[in-house]
Amino acid sequence: MFLLDIAGVTIPSFAESESCGERKRTYMKIAVPREQQQGEARVALTPESVKKLVAASAEVGIETGAGVHAGFPDADYQTAGASLMSRADLLPEADILACVNRPEPGDFAKLKQGVVIIGFLKPLDEPAALEPIIARKLTAFAMELVPRSTRAQSMDALSSMATVAGYKAVLIAAARLPRMFPMLMTAAGTVPPAKVLVLGAGVAGLQAIATARRLGAVVEAYDVRAAAGQDVKSLGAKFLEVDLGGIETQDAGGYAQELSPEALQRGRDMVAKHAATSDVIITTAQVPGRKAPLMLTEDAVNNMRPGAVIVDLAASTGGNVAYTKPGEDVDHNGVTILGPLNLPATVPGHASQLYSRNLTTFIALINDKGTLKIDMNDDILKPACVAYEGGSVHPKVAAALGHAVA
């Protein structure tokens, strides 16, 4: 028996398991690789979560340096009870691979059969990239597909990341705006507050409104879901209403529905009027599984004042703004249009903390006192699962891959 005594908690090392006389107890091994994607600074599990998982009878191995860019040094992981490992040693040992982004194609071959991969796997945007998981008979859960039910609220990683993105979008806009946000009364006269327009008042939009208000801006917001009006007003912003002729704009899950071209145009016409006098526009409008709706047309942008700043948070799904270039900064006649692709990674400390807590709650669903146990009838595990022991189990992913549902 090879035991480590760390911070008062006695656990077996990642490589060795506790053996009690004849019976050998093998603990579930959770591996946290260093994220490989360009610009990614988040880490899937923080030391705080490692401590909880170790207390819940799991072993945790972390690739050396995995948390450094998010502000979590290797020593903190060791204190929390994790083993530091090279990537080459870590991957073959894993029972669960806890990731932020989908692992690199070359990683899959190093994993043993039956491994469970959990992370943002882009199952609907890039389904073909899941083929190696299916070919290796692995199991994979996509955090994007965790249902937004009351029971799953503490695992809602999409909301966690949208919160961070909404906050940071306002900060980058404020840094690029040639004006200040708050109204100031100085000896040199009065400085008027910045006027901010937020399009889409879901999780990211509401956080953008709250952040802009804290900085002292005057804020207006529009969302196709009339129900969002109450949230917008409670944050001290003005809700812009459009007469869409009484059509249904929200589905049973609380998400926006795809609108008719006429309804979309009415929204755009109203938005264009308000855009002409806005200093900052933050766009967050999305419809799940569809291209993002165009909210600011070429004409609307052309009528904006030079110096105005637009941050298009829907850039990765097609963009809400006519001139958005995903991942690029565009200067269009003096109007700055930013299309950031991964804002949560630019606030890696708190983004990792929130994600790690979501992931740890999710892992608790498959951790039976240190043993991996998956109940595919569970109402969170089932919809979040894209592959189970090599079979396609998600109807939309299976359809995209041309597979039968296992």
Stretch that binds ligand NAD, among 5-13, 76-84, 86-94, 279-287 (CB under 6 A): 279-287
| Binding residue (CB under 6 A) for ligand NAD from 153, 230, 260, 277 | 153
83 is catalytic: no
**Rounded CA separation 221/231 (Å):** 10
Q: Which of 42, 77, 156, 268 is catalytic?
A: 156
Query: 232 is written with which tokens?
Result: 């917008």
| Binding residue (CB under 6 A) for ligand NAD from 219, 224, 343, 351 | 224
Q: How far is CA 371 from CA 169, 184, 320, 363, 364, in A?
A: 41, 60, 45, 11, 11
Q: Which of 153, 230, 260, 265 is catalytic?
A: 153
**68 contact partners, CB below 8 Å, separation of at least 6:** 74
Nearer to ligand NAD, 139 or 361 (CB): 361
Nearest distance from C-beta of residue 152 to ligand NAD, angstroms: 7
Report the site for ligand NAD in 174-213 (rule: CB under 6 A). Answer: 199-205
Nearest distance from C-beta of residue 372 to ligand NAD, angstroms: 26
290 is catalytic: no
Query: 224 is written with which tokens?
Result: 């196709």
| Binding residue (CB under 6 A) for ligand NAD from 87, 137, 148, 176 | 148
Strand partners, 10: 5
* 282 contacts 200 by C-beta, under 8 angstroms: no
| 81 closest CA partner among 160, 135, 175, 5 | 5
> Which x/- pattern, by CB under 6 A, does the window 245-264 give for ligand NAD?
---------xxx--x----x
Nearer to ligand NAD, 98 or 313 (CB): 313
Nearer to ligand NAD, 67 or 200 (CB): 200
Nearest distance from C-beta of residue 210 to ligand NAD, angstroms: 14
**364 contact partners, CB below 8 Å, separation of at least 6:** 56
Task: Give the count of residues interacting with ligand NAD (CB under 6 A).
Answer: 30
148 is catalytic: yes
- Is residue 361 at the binding interface for ligand NAD, with CB under 6 A as the rule? no
Nearer to ligand NAD, 7 or 247 (CB): 247
Query: 52 is written with which tokens?
Result: 């909880």
Q: How many CB atoms lie within 10 A of CB 241?
A: 11
Nearer to ligand NAD, 81 or 205 (CB): 205
159 is catalytic: yes
Q: Strand order in 218-222's β-sheet?
A: 238-239, 218-222, 195-199, 280-283, 309-312, 335-338, 329-332
- Is residue 293 at the binding interface for ligand NAD, with CB under 6 A as the rule? yes
Task: Map residue 19 onto helix, strand or coil.
Answer: strand
Nearest distance from C-beta of residue 280 to ligand NAD, angstroms: 17
Burial class (CB in 10 A: 0-12, 13-18, 19+), 404: exposed
Length of the chain, please?
406
In the complex, the residues that contact ligand NAD under the rule CB under 6 A are 148, 153, 156, 158-159, 162, 199-205, 222-225, 228, 254-256, 259, 264, 267, 284-288, 293
Catalytic residue IDs: 148, 153, 156, 159, 255
